[in-house]
Amino acid sequence: MFKFDKKQEVFEFGKIKVGGQPGEYPTVCIGTMFYSRHKIVTDEDKGLFDVAAAEKLWKEQEEMSDTTGNPCFNQIVAETDEAMAKYLDWFVDISDAPFLVDSSAPSVRGFGVKYATDIGVADRAIHNSINASITAEEFQAVKESDLDAAIVLAFNAIDATTQGKMDVLTKAAGGAEKGMLDYAAEAGITRPLIDVAAMPLGNGSGATIRAGIAVKAILGLPVGAGYHNGASAWDWMKKYKKVNKAAFPPVDIGSNLVAGIMGADYYLYGPIENATMVFPAAAMVDIMCAESAKELGLEVLDPDHPFNKLL
């Protein structure tokens, strides 16, 4: 809907490009697998899961990506080193798509980037994330790995405003000794994807959206977030969806679209099961942005953009 004066970085992940001016490239949709209590997982410590069900879910996301033109990544979440190794082995065997290395445990994330390096897939692995609470061990693991891509989290525990998010990225703030982008550069990250740290409604949700605009306007870097987390943490909706289940999906998916119309480059949209809902919605917003981009003298640069595929 607008054009940034700042030159916009575009990072390549294989054939997928992330970033640029709004409307130039389609939004990347990133579904999550093996998350806590994911029904396909039978033993989260040992990494045991229903392989057929997992492949079906991934293929469904790929099919939605092929249908709409919106690229897809996989967010792989593991709770132990053993589970991480099994999940990564399975995924790299069935797909050449980029993937996020994620866990609730810093040591497992550290193991994940090392393992991705060891099995020769560091070029499509993305560490999640460089943040103000990263441990020295995890940071060193990223630094010693062959990964050059990471989510860089703009979460400021002291200041949840737009300025607070920008500060934690660019200077000592939020309890960190220096900016997250400095840490990322020190760790060898040359493809930083900024995550503006989605906050709940009433507790920084507006700053989440404004920060996305600020990041692109000031830093020119690709931006996104798990925007659905803000909707999921909405106290009123938590109660209301118990009496009206139909109310939640539009809010869950719609949280991404608000960011998309304001220039977001990727969505961490949550459970991969939601792929059939989020991809058509993402494509709709991308078409709107592409139409606007043309009015601003920009061009749609991806031949598979929804603007080219779905009209």
- What confidence score (pLDDT) does residue 1 get? 81
Q: Looking at this protein, which amino acid is placed at residue 168? A: V
Cβ atoms 130, 141 nearer than 8 A: no
Cβ atoms 48, 264 nearer than 8 A: no
Of 211, 213, 255, which is closest to residue 232 (Cα–Cα)?
Answer: 255
What token pair was written down for 287?
Answer: 């078409």
Phi, psi of 4 (to 5 degrees): -85, 140
Q: What are the residue ranges spanned by the domains of the chain?
A: 10-297
Distance CA 214, CA 259 (A): 12
Phi, psi of 75 (to 5 degrees): -100, 110
Going 302 to 306 to 309 to 311, the CA torsion angle's sign is negative
What token pair was written down for 161?
Answer: 């405003």
Torsional class of 207: left (φ above 0), alpha (ψ -120 to 50), beta (otherwise): alpha
pTM higher than 0.85: yes
Distance CA 246, CA 117 (A): 43
| CA 103 to chain CA centroid, nearest Å | 14
- Give the CATH architecture of domain 10-297: Alpha-Beta Barrel (3.20)
Give me the residue label for tokens 């103000």.
132
Phi, psi of 13 (to 5 degrees): -125, 90
- The total of other beta-carbon atoms located within 10 Å of residue 66's CB is 13
Distance CA 118, CA 145 (A): 9
Cβ atoms 256, 228 nearer than 8 A: yes
- What confidence score (pLDDT) does residue 187 get? 98
Question: Cα Rg for the chain, rounded, in angstroms?
Answer: 18
Residues found in the chain: 311
Cβ atoms 159, 174 nearer than 8 A: yes
- What confidence score (pLDDT) does residue 172 get? 92
User: Along the 311 residues of the chain, how does pLDDT read in single tens digits?
Assistant: 899 999 999 999 999 999 999 999 999 999 999 999 999 999 999 999 999 999 999 999 999 999 999 999 999 999 999 999 999 999 999 999 999 999 999 999 999 999 999 999 999 999 999 999 999 999 999 999 999 999 999 999 999 999 999 999 999 999 999 999 999 999 999 999 999 999 999 999 999 999 999 999 999 999 999 999 998 999 999 999 999 999 999 999 999 999 999 999 999 999 999 999 999 999 999 999 999 999 999 999 999 999 999 99
- What confidence score (pLDDT) does residue 40 get? 98
